[in-house]
Structure 1
Amino acid sequence: MSTADLGPLVIARRSGSEPIRAKGETMGRLSEFWSWACSDLANNTMRGVLAEYRVAMALGAATGTRTEWDTVDIRTPEQWRVEVKSAAYLQSWAQSQLSEISFSIASASGWDAQTGTSSADVLRRSDVYVFCLLHHQDKQTLDPLDLDQWTFYVLPTRVLDERCPSQKTIRLSSLQSLAPVETDFPGLHKAVARCAEGTR
């Protein structure tokens, strides 16, 4: 097998109707797998993916498919590079109290999915960070699909580089002290544009 045969897969967007097959017979549908694997939208992993999708929707960048190991979470039509982080007060599991809110802001080495190589440079590669807080605090009515239960904080990456150069996490109070643009979902595109274009 040549290395040309081992290049990146071209990932087509799926509909959910695709069959799961065995010996030519349909054993189920992809949508059934999605329902089984992805219904818990309050756990850290799926909430984070959902947050990325919501931001991509707001920025007009949700038409393709998600790249798991890209150097940034979202690349917009305007060529803005956006990193998305999420946090929530409520979790899927039983809690004795609300979770404390903190977000990861750690620098990282870069991975290029097209070449299968990584960069030794450890840095933040985005232009903008979007911190997505599922702020709802009533577990009985929690619905991560309800965008009114979310608050978004948008900050130019350069502010983190200047004020928190080696910091790996940031608490909500510390983030707010950096004067991010706070917005609801309808205002998210405008907030990202302000930060990406330096008009914040």
Structure 2
Amino acid sequence: MSTNDLGPLAITRRSASEPIRDNGETVGRLGDFWSWACSDLANNTMRGVLAEYLVATALGAATGTRTEWDTVDIRTPEKWRVEVKSTAYLQSWAQSQLSEVSFSIKPAAGWDTQTGTTSADVLRRSDVYVFCLLHHQDKQTLDPLDLGQWTFYVLPTRVLDERCPGQKTIRLSSLDRLGPLKTDFTGLQKAVAACAEGPR
């Protein structure tokens, strides 16, 4: 086997109706797997993926597939590089109190999905950060698919680099002091465009 055979897979969008097969016999559907694996939208991992999808949808960048290990979360048609972070007051598990709201802003080494190599440079590679807060605080009515339960905070990456160069996490109160554009889903594209294109 040559190394040419070990390059990145070409990932195409799949359909929920695709069969899971055993010796040619259908034993399930891909949609059944998705329902089994991805229904808990309040856990940290799946909520984060959902947040990326919501931002990608708002930016017209959700037509392909998600790249798990890319150096940024979203690449838009305008060539904006967008990093998405999410958090919430409520979790799937039993809580004695609401979770503290903070976001990761840690600079990181870059992984190149095409070459399978890591860059030694530790930095933030995006143009814009979108901080997604699932702000709803009533556990009985929590629904991450209800976009009215989300608030988005948009900030040029250079503001983080200037004001929080080596910082790993940021609380909501500290983020507010940096002057992000605060918006609902409808205003997200405009806010990202303002941060990506204009000086702040």
Normalising to structure 1: TM-score of the pair?
0.99
SS in 1 for 2:161: helix
C-alpha deviation, 1:198, in angstroms: 1.9
Give the 4+ runs in structure 1 shifted more than 2 A. Answer: none
Structure 2: give runs of 5+ residues left out of the alignment.
none
* 1:45 equivalent in alignment to 2:33: no
Distance in 2 (CA, whole Å) between partners of 1:16 and 1:104 is 32
Indicate the residue corresponding to 1:89 in structure 2.
89
Amino acid at match of 1:194: A
Residue matched to 2:57: 57
Aligned residue for 1:140, secondary structure, equals helix
Instruction: State percent identity of aligned pairs.
Output: 85
Deviation at 1:199, TM superposition (A): 4.4
SS at match of 1:133: strand
Equivalent residue for 2:158? 158
Alignment of 1:1-200 (within 5 A): 1-200=1-200
Distance in structure 2 (CA, Å) of the matches to 1:81 and 1:7: 24
Q: State the number of aligned residues.
A: 200
The 2-side partners of 1:198 and 1:111 are apart by 28
Q: Does the residue aligned with 2:35 lie in a helix, a strand or coil?
A: helix
Task: Provide the rounded CA distance (Å) in 1 between the counterparts of 2:153 and 2:198.
Answer: 16
Which residue identity is paired with 1:70? D
Q: Deviations over 1:64-104 (max 9, x none)?
A: 00000000000000000000000000000000000000000
Cα distance between partner residues in 1 of 2:111 and 2:17:
32
Rounded to whole Å, the distance in 1 between the matches of 2:164 and 2:198 is 19
1:16 corresponds to which letter in structure 2?
Answer: A
Q: Tell me the SS of whatever aligns to 1:54.
A: helix
Q: Secondary structure at the match of 1:15?
A: coil
CA distance in 2, matches of 1:118, 1:22: 38
RMSD: 0.6
Letter in 1 for 2:13: R
SS in 2 for 1:34: helix
For structure 1, list consecutive stretches of 5 or more residues without a partner in the other structure: none
